[in-house]
Chain A
Amino acid sequence: MNYIVSIGKYFGMLRYVFSRPERFKVYHTRTFSEIETIGINSLAIVAILSVFMGAVISLQTASNMDSPLLPKYTIGYITRSSTILEFSPTIISLILAGKVGSNIASEVGTMRVTEQIDALEIMGVNSLSYLVLPKVIAAVFFFPFLIIISMGLSLVGGYLAVTTTNLASHEEFVYGIRAFFKMGDIVYALVKTVCFAFIITTVSSFFGYYTKGGALDVGKSSTQAVVWSSICILLANFVLTQLLLL
């Protein structure tokens, strides 16, 4: 019962988030600063994770290829398919749910408990669209870039891991990466990414915005934001995979 009420409240919130902004110029500036906090500041962690993720995937693939009948380029091929289709969009989005989601929920939650949101409302500002819309736009716009970078770096990581350990040669790995390539896979991954970006920003803002109480409750909201963003990402991933691939 409680869940149904919350879901209703969430969609009610979205209605206000997407109502017409008061001052375009202010939103413009806010969006750029959000691109910096949400997007640019996540570059480093995405880069590091992607390199190691790609490296481990290719090593795992290589070590599990017992049969001499399988050509060596399979390592490159499997590394590419799994990073592009699942690991980059989904795993990186889950990591971002942790980093960006907790950041958003604690920022918005702190504004709630220190009455800054009330101050916005008293002035006549639509606090939901002022606070949340720039975050949604920034994430929906910037996360695809992060994921493309992640895909590239995963392949670099895989390449370095395999070639330095002599599990496959330069030619074999690169051939595998290019084999049976479909542009559709990238599109599929980016569509998923955009959905995940939307989920992370709106779900986290929801928990922050409706925080009640004090500093301790901001911490709780922040945890809930990460947990529920992650759950929603996994559910959406399941649905989208069915819709887009089958």
Chain B
Amino acid sequence: MIEVKNINKSFGKNHVLHDFSAQFEAGQVNLIIGQSGQGKSVLTKCIVGLLEVDNGNVLYDGRDFSQMDRKERKEIRKEIGMLFQGSALFDSMTVEENIMFPLKMFTKMSKAEMQERADFCLERVNLSGRNKLLPAECSGGMQKRVAIARAISMNPKYLFCDEPNSGLDPSTSILIDNLIKEITYEYNMTTVVITHDMNSVIEIGDHIVFIHTGRNWWQGTKEEIIKTDNKEIIDFVYASKFMKNLKGKLG
């Protein structure tokens, strides 16, 4: 479980996060949704420590990450997997080298064990046999899947995904969403997914946090989000005229 307690973050005069609090439970897919520029990425970066919070606390299963020094954080980081918006694969390494990289850096595995683990992770994301490709030779969807394989190679307890289906076609998008859902349940991970894709919300959202003007505006389940009469959520969910009309017809 990850607890975020009253965090604030500003860049100069731009106050991005206001007293933000939320809880993300283990074994379920937690979504952070909201319009562009509302602070979703900043929030995740604060949680994983890529940005320092101005004040407030982030707790990983009770361990206060925000108070730790670099060395203590490193131990927690080994339990974190992250899927970046642009995949962030190391482009000088092959697919399998990307997956083996954290193993090489942080475990005492033998070459054969690493190979086995890489093959296992690739199979998990349906990319068996693509070991020797370079990231530049992979399609966007494949890159995302390799990035997932790399993120799970160290058996993380916590998984973060920043807009996992941006730039993907709807069917690939669903594939990635389901993959994230499956591995979350399979390994009982605490998964946090940033998205603004309503399909994903309905498909995989166990717990949903709606962020607006840098505040935790609303939270609940996917059943609740459809019924809510919160104005900002309705504007977000039914952004297009088509959807609005549809909602009107359905009552």
Contact = CB atoms under 8 A, between A and B. Distances in A.
A185 interface: no
Nearest to B84: A115
B247 interface: no
Contacts of B154: 123
B80 interface: yes
Nearest to A33: B92
A217 B138 CA distance: 25
Nearest to B85: A115
A14 to B, nearest CB: 16
A138 B227 CA distance: 62
B77 A124 contact: yes
A181 B101 CA distance: 51
B82 interface: yes
Contact of B82 (A22, A26, A114, A122): A122
Interface residues of A, number: 13
Given A122-B77, A124-B78, A26 B105 contact: yes
Given A118-B50, A119-B82, A125 B88 contact: no
Given A114-B86, A115-B85, A116-B90, A122 B104 contact: no
B14 to A, nearest CB: 15
Interface of A: 22-23, 26, 114-116, 118-119, 121-125
Given A118-B50, A123-B78, A23 B105 contact: yes
A210 to B, nearest CB: 14
Interface in B74-115: 74-75, 77-78, 80, 82, 84-86, 88-91, 101-102, 104-106
Nearest to B48: A122
Given A115-B86, A115-B88, A116-B91, A122 B105 contact: no
Nearest to A25: B104
Contacts of A119: 82, 84, 88, 90
Contacts of A122: 48, 50, 77, 80, 82
Contacts of B74: 124
Contact of B50 (A22, A26, A121, A125): A121
Interface string B2-14: 0000000000000
21 contacts: A23-B104, A23-B105, A26-B104, A26-B105, A115-B88, A116-B88, A116-B90, A116-B91, A118-B45, A118-B50, A118-B82, A119-B82, A119-B88, A121-B50, A121-B77, A122-B50, A123-B78, A123-B102, A123-B154, A124-B106, A125-B105
A34 B118 CA distance: 26
Kindly list the 8 A-B residue pairs having the minimum CB-CB distance in the complex, ordered from nearest: A124-B77, A115-B88, A119-B88, A124-B74, A115-B84, A122-B82, A123-B102, A116-B88
Contacts of B101: 123
Contacts of B104: 23, 26
Interface in B171-212: none
A115 B75 CA distance: 21
Given A114-B86, A114-B91, A122-B50, 17 more contacts: A22-B106, A26-B105, A115-B84, A115-B85, A115-B86, A116-B90, A116-B91, A118-B50, A118-B84, A118-B88, A119-B82, A121-B77, A122-B48, A122-B80, A124-B74, A124-B75, A124-B106
A53 to B, nearest CB: 33
Contacts of B102: 123
Contacts of B91: 114, 116
Contacts of B73: 124
Contacts of A115: 84-86, 88
Contacts of A123: 77-78, 101-102, 105-106, 154
Contacts of B88: 114-116, 118-119
B190 to A, nearest CB: 15
Contacts of B48: 122
Contacts of B78: 123-124
Nearest to B150: A119
A125 B103 CA distance: 12
A124 B74 CA distance: 5
Nearest to A110: B91
Contacts of A116: 88-91
